[in-house]
Amino acid sequence: MSDRYGDFVQSSIGKKVAKNLGLPLPVTLDRFESGERLVRGSVLVGRANGDDKSVSESVARILSDVHAEVFVNSHDDIKDALADASIEAKANTGGEDKFKVLLFDASNIRNSDDLKQVYEFFHTVARRVETSGRVIVIGRPPEQITDIDAALAQRALEGFVKSVGKEFKRGVTAQLIYVEEGAEKNLDSTLRFFTSARSSYVSGQVVRVGKGDSVEVDWTQPLGGKTMLVTGASRGIGEAIARVLAREGAHVICLDVPQQQGDLQKVASEISGSILTVDITSEDAGAQIADAAQKRGGLDSIIHNAGVTRDKTLAKMDEKKWDMVIDINLGSVAKLNRYLLDNDVLKENARIVCVSSISGIAGNMGQTNYATSKAGVIGLVDATAKQLENNAKGMTINAVAPGFIETQMTEAIPFAIREAGRRMNSMSQGGLPVDVAETIAWLASPASGGLNGNTVRVCGQSLLGA
């Protein structure tokens, strides 16, 4: 779908007009392209003073693995960790050099005075971040810290990161990663995602990385040999998910309702996947999925993407609209998960990813049914994540909550509301289906065993529900 205003401000006259009138200035966001380097520019890394070097050591190892060009401030003792990872870091001389990524290990921050180090690291380089740059802060989960001074300081990082996300503009994203002590080895998939162009429409997010089992992968085909099923795969976001999972090496079973068979077949053929036509609300949907999965030795992942809207204000909403939306978006997802878990259709280290929505977080006029269903999806993920933690099979469940994504669903929104939804975020533009798909590919990766129970918004840091 075309964003005429977004196209107009790419021209020099458009840029001038928008600047003079104080209008939003969306930039063209970096997106994944095969053959491109994972990190498309230099990385400035830093660390708060302290004894715990475990986060820095993991960061250094990962930066070395991705062959990043690394810079460091001269007084920063993260230099040792970088040297141990055989990185010859260049000195940040405070000149005109620009950085694609600013990455700060804040795990040693123990009180409010220590927060000054966050200011000192970012203040001097705040104007030196490239377009579509990345700001990443790594801390410790405050809820696991008993010392009040340390807990408040770690929690404070959230306000810092979310403000940076709103301030830096030009497609720069900002994230906070809370990594549990002892789980630093699980940072790989998350750092690779957030430093790369795959996370272009994800900003202002707080992600928790825990101790779950991550499986080693070949990073050129991280989903190689995996069988993954995507519901609602014939078009829109589901189609993009199927394409990205296949690009990363998975065999994708594309599921949609029988009426969509033509489009579904087209998508599946183009990605060498297979199709399953079934309505997910039908009694035998679980059994049909199980049958299709067993032919390939079971499922490594299910992506619950199928969903519908039937908008009406509550007073005007008939029962049918309520029932249908709750049934498709929530009831059937819970029922399918139960069936697949009870019948061992999901393999060890399987990944369940659900598609929620920022409507489920913020609520939305005319969407009591939809927002209820999508908030319920987050509840389902939270509760199931706890159950899976105690399950020896290493499975995980996470959700994505898309904001305004350019699809048939958003094309149906009246112009004024559509334009507001598109601009009311830190990127001043709508996201693309591929942005949701890249986020799901990260959560569905065998290497993402440390991610369980997260709901990650793919909304360009929308103001709604923030």
Answer for which of 2, 20, 390, 408 binds ligand NAD (CB under 6 A) is 408
Q: Which residue from 206, 207, 328, 341 is in contact with ligand NAD, where contact means CB under 6 A?
A: 328
CA distance to 74, 175, 325, per residue, from 129 (Å): 19, 15, 43
- Within 66-201, residue ranges assigned H as helices are 78-84, 116-123, 148-167, 188-195
Task: Provide the minimum distance between the beta carbon of 183 and ligand NAD in the complex, in angstroms, as a whole number.
Answer: 29
- Classified as helix, coil or strand, 130 is strand
Kindly give the residue spans of alpha helices, DSSP state H, lying in 248-330: 261-270, 285-294, 319-326
DSSP string across 67-102: T-EEEE-TT-THHHHHHHTT--PEE--SSS--EEEE
307 binds ligand NAD (CB under 6 A): yes
The answer to the question of residue 230 lying near ligand NAD (CB under 6 A) is no
User: 185: which DSSP letter?
Assistant: G
DSSP H stretches of helix in 221-272? 236-247, 261-270
Helix axes 433-443, 236-247, angle to 10 degrees: 50
Of 364, 362, 321, 353, nearest to 461 (Cα)?
362
Instruction: Tell whether residue 402 is a contact of ligand NAD (CB under 6 A).
Output: yes
Per-residue contact track with ligand NAD, 77 to 96, x per CB under 6 A? --------------------
235 contributes a contact to ligand NAD by CB under 6 A: yes
**232 touches ligand NAD by CB under 6 A:** yes
Exposure string for 42-76, b = 16+ CB within 10 A, e = fewer: bbbbbbbebebbbbbbbbbbbbeebebbbbbbeeb
Among 132, 173, 234, 368, binds ligand NAD (CB under 6 A): 234
Residue placing its CB nearer to ligand NAD in the complex, 105 or 239: 239
Query: Within the chain, how many helices (H) and strands (E) appear?
Result: 17, 14
The reply on whether position 425 binds ligand NAD by CB under 6 A is no
Residue 305 CB, nearest distance to ligand NAD (Å)? 5
Local structure of 302: helix, strand or coil: strand
CB atoms within 10 A of CB 120: 13
Binding residue for ligand NAD, selected from 29, 59, 62, 280, defined by CB under 6 A: 280
349 and 215 in contact (C-beta within 8 Å)? yes
User: Minimum distance from CB of 446 to ligand NAD (Å)?
Assistant: 24
Q: Which one, 195 or 359, has the nearer CB to ligand NAD?
A: 359
Interface with ligand NAD by CB under 6 A: which range of 53-61, 153-161, 277-285, 390-398? 277-285
Interaction of residue 404 with ligand NAD, rule CB under 6 A: yes
One of 107, 175, 274, 305 touching ligand NAD (CB under 6 A):
305
SS3 at position 392: coil
DSSP state of 295: T
Among 173, 196, 200, 357, contact with ligand NAD (rule: CB under 6 A):
357
Among 101, 191, 245, 257, binds ligand NAD (CB under 6 A): 257
- According to CB under 6 A, which one of 46, 236, 286, 450 is a site residue for ligand NAD? 236
Q: Judged by CB under 6 A, which stretch of 73-81, 149-157, 226-234, 441-449 contacts ligand NAD?
A: 226-234
Task: Tell me which residues are annotated as active site.
Answer: 370
Binding site residues, ligand NAD, CB under 6 A: 231-232, 234-238, 256-257, 260, 279-281, 305-308, 328, 355, 357, 402, 404-405, 407-410
